[in-house]
Structures are given as C-alpha cells and as structure tokens.
Structure 1
Amino acid sequence: MRNWYRATIGGLPRLYWYLWSGMLINRVGGFVALVLSLYLTSDRHLTLSVAGLVGGSYGIGGIAGVLLGGVLADRWGRRPTLLLAHFGAVVMLAGLALAEPIWLIAALAALLGLMHAMPGPAFVAAIVDVTPAADRSRAFNLQFWAFNLGMAVASVLAGALAEMSFTLLFAVDASATLVTAVLILWKIPETRPAARTASASASASASAKPSGGLHTALTDRAYMLFVALSLLLAILSTQTSTILPLAITADGLRPSVYGSVVAYAALLIVVGQLFVPRLIDRWRKGTALAVANVFLGLGFAAVSLADGVGGYLAAATIWTVGSMIAAPPNAAVIAELSPEALRGRYQSVFYLTFPAASFIAPAAGGVSLQYLGDWHWVVCGALGLLAAAGHLLIQPARERRVARQLEAERFAVPVAG
C-alpha cells in the first residue's frame, strides 16, 4: 500500500492538490451541462429541435472559450483567467435560471459554454507550471480520475435535483462554482513563469520564438485527418450529455435513471482505466482507435433496443469500453504528430473537437431524434463504424509520417509542419 501511494499520489506539490481539489469540486457541482436539454424541454417546454439548437449554443460558446482561455492564460496569467471564468460562470448560471425569452436563454447558454471552456487551458498550464516533469504523467492521470469521479457524483445528484427543482439545481451548480473560485482566490497564486521572471522570459522568448503558428496545425494534413476522426468520436461521446437524457425520459423513465446510467459509466472508467494500457500496449494505435470506435458505435446503437434500466446499463457498458480504449492512443498520437515547438497549438486544435461536438451533437441530434426516433441511435452506430474504418485507412500514412519525423529529429533536421 505504501509503495502504491508513493507511485500514484506521493510527492506531488501542495499547489497541485489545490488545483486538483478545485477541479473536483467544480466537476461534482457541474450539473447544468448534463441536464440542459432536459431543462429546456421539461421546464421551458421547448420542442426537441429547438432545445437542441439552444443547447448547441453552449457548444458554440465552448469553441470560443477554448481559444480565449488559452490566449488569456498566456497573456493575463493562469489565476486571472481561472477567476474570470469561474465568477463569470456563477453570473451566467444565475441568469440562465431566471431568463424567460428563448433568445436570452440561448445567449446565456453560449456565454456559459464560454465560461466553462475557458478554465481548461489555464488549469493544464498551471499543472505543468507547478509539477516537475517527471511527475506530470501521474498528475494528469489523477486529474483524469478526478474528472470522472466528479462526473459520477454530479450525474447522480443532477438526476435527483432535476426531479426536485431545476432552480435548486442551478443554485447548487453556482454554489460549487463559487467555492472553486474562492479556493483559487485564496490558495492559488499566479503560476505563469513569465510572471515570476518577466525579464528572463522576455529575453528567452525573443531568442527562442518557435517557428510556425496555429495555421501550421490547421494545414497539417495527417494531423487534421486524425482530428476529423476524433470529432466523430467526440460527437458520439457527447450523446450521453445531450440526447441520451431525452431518450430515457421518452421511454417513461425518471430523470434519476439518466443520472444513474451516466454515473455507472463514469465509475467504470474510474475503475477500468487502470487496466486498459496493459491490455492494448501491443496494439498499433490506429487499431486501438478503430476498436474503440466500434465499441462506441455498438454501444450507442444498442440504445435503440433499450427500454428499461437494464438495457441502458448494458449499452453504457459497451460504449464505456470504447471510451476507455480510446484515451491512451489518442494522447499518444497527438504527441507523435505535434512538432516540439508547436505542441500547445496542436493541442488547442485537438481540444476544439469537444466544444464543436457540444454544438453538433445536440443541434443535429435533437432534429434526428425528433424525426428518426430510435433510428437516431442506429445512425450513431454507423458513425462509429465509419470512424473505425477511417483510423485503419490513415494508419499506414500516419505511421510513415511519424517515422520520418523521428528520423529527422534524430539528425536535428527541421521538420515541416
């Protein structure tokens, strides 16, 4: 037990644990994004398609938030960006709970999406700032674990609170966000290296400014093909927080059933993710991603057959296996394709897939579910199979690209983006 503690938890700086605690508290209280579509249809009485479009505005805000959060974290600093995002989210949550006109609800949902997406780059940058390089892998593993644990707790609470009062749900979410903001204000100083050594940072950046920019990632064919396939995976995964609650309630089940299903899936990840790397260690990365997308597709296709709690739990088991298999090779492929000097820009392009999916999944999914019914889930299954085939097709060319890049780096030859 002592060896496990040292290998998994021990030795990380105290400031990291403040950041970790803030992320966990905020995730546990992050209800609204999980049940926004349910709130819009049951409390605001919007149609499925209109609710999907309004919910999609949350994703549009998230796209802007990812980019804005990264820029502000580097220009203003990590701490100001985190404070702005969390205090801003509190205001947006209060406004969304009280808003009546549909246009205002859509605008506030977009701003809430922006505020929720902004902290991501700043949190990651702060963890890198305060954690020694040798400990960063453990730090991010624990962050991933905290995210899924928080998701599990939030899902159960969200379903229960939705049955009691949506106003109470918004109030608890805002309170958790406020607690995180106060923790940041109280315990987390600015961690940006430039803030501590401004003159040294200025001279270093002048002498070691990386070549290329965001356009380098956007014009990297091999990378953008991978990002496009990752977007399909993200659209499938986002079904759980956008369209799945509508399907569950359409089957006459209580909102708490949805919370239990998502909590079950998150707990599977918390437990099972520890064993996945050893399972797929010998697989080629594209093969692992293809298998992951097949499981995701089959899992969501199985929702078309589910009409009770057992059916939804079985479907969740299948798609969660896909999510667990996808995580390690996804991170490895991004690292392989990213030039060393442009890793941040390449990461920002990849992470845009999540807010993009947060728009596409509810906007298209609401219409699809309304007019196709259970066939919507069959379409999701087909998307999973399409993404799996795509990963197998691009795998040889991507591996050749990685081999050339490694060879060039070995002989210190610059690699074109």
Structure 2
Amino acid sequence: MPFASLGRAARETVSGLPRAFWWLWTSTLVNRLGAFVATFMALYLTVERGYSASYAGLVASLHGFGGVVSSLAAGVMTDRLGRRPTLLVAQASTAASVALLGFVHDPVAIAAVAFLVGMTSNASRPAVQAMMADIVRPEDRVRAFSLNYWAINLGFAVSAVAAGFIAQVSYRAGFLLEAGMTAVCAVVVFLKLPESRPERTAKAAREDDIGLGAVLRDGRYMAVVGLSFLIAVIFQQGSIGLPVAMGEAGFTPADYGLAIAVNGILIVVLQIPVTRFIEHRDPRRLLVASALLAGYGFGLTVFAGSVGVLALTVCVWTLGEMINAPTQTGLVVRLSPVHGRGRYQGVYTLSWSVAALVAPLMSGFVIDRFGAEWLWGLCAAVGTVAAFGYGALMRRLPAQEPAVGKPAAAPAEASAA
C-alpha cells in the first residue's frame, strides 16, 4: 500500500504540466548530465597541465565572473529577442566555447576561454526560468520549478560520477562530450520549444522601454534579491567552507565526499515528496523556515566531530535547500511583471553569481583569521537575518497573475506524463 501511495503521489506531481515544460525539463536534464568540466576543471589544470592551485583558483573566479557579466545582458536579451533565441544563442555558444577550452594550452588563453564559458553557460538561466513561468499555470509553478531543480541535481549527481571515469581516459573527451550534449540541448530547443514570450501591448512596450532601471528601483524585489544573495552565500559553504574546515580538522577528502554525498542523495530521493508537501503552503512560512534550516544547519557543524554527525548537519541544510529553491523561484516570478520576466530573472541570477564570487573570499578570510567555528556561527546569524527579512517582506503579496504563455493555454500541449 505505501508503494501504491508513493506511485500515486509521483503521478500527481508530474501530471497536468504542459508538454513544452517537459521538453524544457529534458533540455535541463541533458545539460546537467553533461556538466563534466566544472567537476574536473581544477584537476585538469593542476594535474594534467601542471599549473598551480592559485592559477586554478583564478580560472575558477574568472568562470564565475563571466556568469556575473552575462546575467543582466541575458535577462535583457530574454525580454527583447525572446526566450527561444536567447536559449539557442546561449547553448550554441556554450558548446563552442567548452569544445575550444579542451584545445587551448596557453594560460592566458585558458583563462580567457574559461571566462567565456562562464558567461555563455550562465546566459541560458534567465531564459529558462522566464519560459517556464510563461508556459506553466501560476498554481503549478512551485511544482514545475521543483521538478526542474530535481533534474538539475539528478543530472549533476550522475555527471559528477561519470566525470571521474572520463578524466581517467581523456580530459579532452570530457570537454568534447559536454560540448556535444550542450549542442543536443540546443537542438531540442530548436525542434520542440516554441517561443513563449507573451505578445506585447502598448503598455508592455512602455514597460520594456524602462529597462533594467525599473528592476533596480523595485525596492521589494531588490530586497528579495538581497535575501537570495544571503541564502546563496550560506549554501555555497557546502562546497567551499565545509571541505576546508574538514581538512583543517583532520578529515580526509573521502570523508568530505561521504558527507556531501548526502546532499545529492537527499535531493534526488526526497525533492518530489517535499514538493508535494510545500506546493500549496504559505510561501512566507516556507522561506522563513528554509532560511533557518540553512543557517542553523551549517551552524550545527561547529558541534560535529565525526563524519556521521557532519552528515546529519548536511541533512538539515539540504532540507532548507529543497524548500527554498522552488519557493524562492516562484516568488521571483510572482513579483516580476509579465513582460519584464527576463530582466527580473537576470537580476535574480546575478545574486547567485555574485555569491559564488563572494563566498570563497568570505569563508577563507573568516577561517584564516578567526577559525571555522566563527564561519558556522556567521552562517547561523545570516540565516536568522534572512528569515526575519523574508517574514517582513512577504506581507501583503500581490495576487498571482493568470497564465499568459501560449503553450500553457493550448489544450493539445497538456501532458499527463
């Protein structure tokens, strides 16, 4: 009986979403299944090419900076050119730049191409999120964003394992395989996804003329972006502060691998049940709870003296991550004007890109100057601030607008997959 209930819950979770969503979801999954380069880039530069760890860190920073640069430009492109053209340009450019990265040897060229890869790969995110908001009904968006987040983590979990085996054979093969799978994503978009940008009215045209300034002057939305930045800085510690602190405490890389594997396993196994639980609940309470789970999940690391206890702390902040990701993305869409979704999503993406730059500097400084205990205490404090911020800003939310995207409106596009 429990298995029958679980199967029914899974069917209800994936039913009723438009066919266009599932093609977009498939594109996301294929893209993440091929995300090999980010996994082995540091090893490629230090082991295969013989560069220093400092140079590898510089390349990683340039990759992240590329994402910062492209966030706003991609958001504008998404609104002006359309979701589909932006996706096609971003994915085709990513495929070409990743393939090129496997053939360049000069350190300056590697750094420049890594910046280009970061810029092109990040450019698709505002378009994906805006298209998803266009084609999915407002009441189904949290579920849709959660399923997309699940695909991202499932794909990453598989690609992380595959990357190790591929690197043993040939690093260049990994670059070419990722380029090929990204090209497949572009083909899926070209063949299966129609443009979803709503038709423009005279009022929408006036909105479009406002540009990014309208987003930056939207006080409530920018406060949400600021809170998103705080949450992103916390979650970045899972891959930045945690391995460094564990190494200083005498744990091995294998110990860290065991602890952090809990994060991916829980998301893959529990994201759909968690989605069922949060789908129609108060987003204000969910975001407050997710901020506290994130902050205090990392805060509890100060008491962890074994791999088992560390794994338990990972469980706590992973639950916060599973609640926060779809709920916060849904909130971003809810606060975005229909014809400005690309720009709004671009600014939201920027908060995560900037966090990816700030978090390594912050965690390194705090650990070196004060010790890891202060870093975990700071995570708890930041989570508390974010929780209070969500509680204050989520009062009197605007009503959700009706679905306007053509693919969602067409009955023939519905799928009970």
Are the counterparts in 1 of residues 363 and 375 from structure 2 also a CA contact under 8 Å?
A: no
Partner of 1:210: 207
| Shift, 1:149, TM fit | 1.2
Partners of 2:128 and 2:390 in 1: CA distance: 32
| 2-structure distance, mates of 1:382, 1:326 | 21
**1:146-185 matched pairs, under 5 angstroms:** 146-185=151-190
Change (3 A) 1:191 1:339: closer
1:78 corresponds to:
83
Distance change (3 Å), C-alpha of 1:321 and 1:40: farther
Partners of 1:58 and 1:113 within 8 A in 2: yes
The aligned counterpart of 1:188 is 192
Q: CA deviation at 1:102?
A: 2.6
1:12 aligns with 2:17: yes
Q: In structure 1, what is the Cα distance between the partners aligned to 2:364 and 2:41?
A: 13
Aligned match of 2:68: 63
**In the alignment, does 2:382 pair up with 1:387?**
yes
Letter in 1 for 2:296: F
- The alpha carbon displacement at 1:33 in A equals 2.0
Letter paired with 1:237:
F
* In structure 2, distance between residues paired with 1:260 and 1:161: 21
Residue pair 1:229, 1:391 contacting (<8 A) in 2 also: yes
**1:269 matches 2:267:** yes
User: Are residues 88 and 247 of structure 1, via their aligned partners in 2, closer, same or farther at CA, if it must alter by over 3 Å?
Assistant: farther
Structure 1 residue corresponding to 2:48, chosen from 43, 52, 62: 43
Partner of 1:412: none
Specify whether residues 75 and 145 from structure 1 end up closer, same or farther in structure 2 by C-alpha distance, changes over 3 A only: same
Question: CA offset at residue 16 of structure 1?
Answer: 2.7
Could you tell me which runs of 5 or more consecutive residues in structure 1 were left unpaired when the two chains were aligned. Answer: 195-200, 410-417
Residue 357 to residue 162, structure 1, CA distance change in 2 (3 Å): farther
Q: 2:122 — aligned with what?
A: 117
What is the alpha-carbon distance in structure 2 between the residues aligned to residue 248 and residue 162 of structure 1?
A: 25
* Residues 49, 367 of structure 1: 8 Å contact kept: no
Residue 381 of structure 1 and its aligned partner are, at CA, apart by 1.4
Quote the sequence identity (%).
34
Equivalent-residue separation in structure 2 for 1:80 and 1:276 (angstroms): 31
| Alignment of 1:107 onto 2:126 | no
Shift of 1:73: 2.6
Q: Kindly indicate whether residue 98 of structure 2 is the aligned counterpart of residue 90 of structure 1.
A: no
Q: CA deviation at 1:122?
A: 1.9
Cα deviation digits, residues 193-220 of structure 1 (max 9, x gap): 46xxxxxx35x14567439653344244
| Pairwise CA distance, 1:319 | 3.2
User: Would the aligned equivalents of 2:34 and 2:159 in 1 still touch at CA under 8 Å?
Assistant: yes
The answer to whether the 8 A contact 1:155-1:263 is kept is no
Amino acid at match of 1:391: A
Q: CA deviation at 1:62?
A: 0.8
Partner of 2:285: 284
Count of matched residue pairs: 390
Which residue identity lines up with residue 188 of structure 1 in the other structure?
Answer: K
For 2:383 and 2:39, the matched residues in 1 are separated by 27
Label 1:319 to 1:288 Cα distance change in 2 as closer, same or farther (>3 A). closer
Q: Partner of 2:161: helix, strand, or coil?
A: helix
2:298 aligned partner: 297
Name the SS of the counterpart of 1:322 in structure 2: helix
TM-score (norm 2): 0.76
Question: CA deviation digits over 1:228-267, x for unaligned, max 9?
Answer: 3322321232344556677789979568x77665554122
The structure-2 alpha-carbon separation of the partners of 1:162 and 1:366, relative to structure 1 and needing over 3 Å to count, comes to farther
Amino acid at match of 2:354: A
Q: How far, CA to CA, are the matches of 1:359 and 1:228 in structure 2? A: 15
Question: Does the 8 A contact of 2:212 with 2:343 survive in 1?
Answer: yes
User: The residue matched to 1:53 in structure 2 has which SS?
Assistant: helix
Q: CA offset at residue 311 of structure 1?
A: 6.7
CA distance in 2 between partners of 1:279 and 1:189 (Å): 29
Q: Deviations over 1:287-336 (max 9, x none)?
A: 41441232342366578x56x6x576455334323322433553465467
Q: Are the counterparts in 2 of residues 22 and 180 from structure 1 also a CA contact under 8 Å?
A: yes
Give the superposition deviation at 1:85.
1.7
CA distance 1:104–1:145, shift in 2 (3 Å): same
Q: TM-score, length-normalised on structure 1?
A: 0.76
CA apart distance, 1:397: 4.2
* Conserved 8 A contact 2:274-2:323: no
